[in-house]
């Protein structure tokens, strides 16, 4: 839920939403190994995960709930983190090329001062070749 800043007028109608992803960091971490058990998705937990952190930068344009129905824009930066289960033999120093794609954005106004927003990201990590 995003809140309209106090210096902006109330929302009458949402016009557009633009978003971009900025990747901040990646790291491989050790996690408890579940002895080859699978999670609810069917993914075998291995004891290694790639943690990805970033910022979802969003711009929402809306019509104000005022007589002249002026158009306003608000900006929101929302941090996120995600993980990808890796091979159990991956090193903690392994590096990846990461591609992030915005698959879907759903947005609706809840109140004149609050917007519900949900963004679905697709994240792909490709192991970088090691120099030997």
CA distance 47 to 21: 28
pLDDT in tens, 94-123: 899 999 999 999 999 999 999 999 999 999
Q: pLDDT-derived band of residue 35, with 50, 70 and 90 as boundaries?
A: low
Predicted local distance difference test score (pLDDT) of residue 36:
63
**C-beta neighbour count of 110 within 10 angstroms:** 12
Predicted local distance difference test score (pLDDT) of residue 97:
94
Burial 82-93 (b: 16+ CB within 10 A, else e): eebbbeeebeee
Q: pLDDT-derived band of residue 47, with 50, 70 and 90 as boundaries?
A: confident
Mean pLDDT of all residues belonging to the chain: 90
pLDDT beyond 60 at 131: no
pLDDT in tens, 74-90: 999 999 999 998 888 88
Question: Global pTM?
Answer: 0.79
């Amino acid at each position: 839920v995003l809140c309209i800043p106090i210096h902006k007028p109330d929302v009458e109608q949402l016009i557009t939403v633009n978003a971009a992803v900025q990747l901040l960091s990646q790291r491989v971490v050790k996690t408890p190994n579940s002895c080859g058990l699978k999670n609810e998705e069917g993914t075998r937990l291995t004891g290694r995960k790639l943690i990805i952190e970033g910022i979802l930068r969003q711009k929402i344009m809306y019509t104000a709930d005022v007589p002249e129905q002026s158009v306003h824009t608000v900006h929101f930066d929302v941090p996120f983190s995600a993980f990808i289960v890796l091979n159990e033999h991956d090193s903690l120093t392994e590096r990846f090329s990461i591609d992030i794609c915005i698959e879907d954005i759903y947005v609706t106004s809840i109140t004149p001062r609050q917007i519900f927003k949900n963004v679905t990201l697709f994240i792909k990590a490709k192991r970088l070749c090691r120099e030997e």
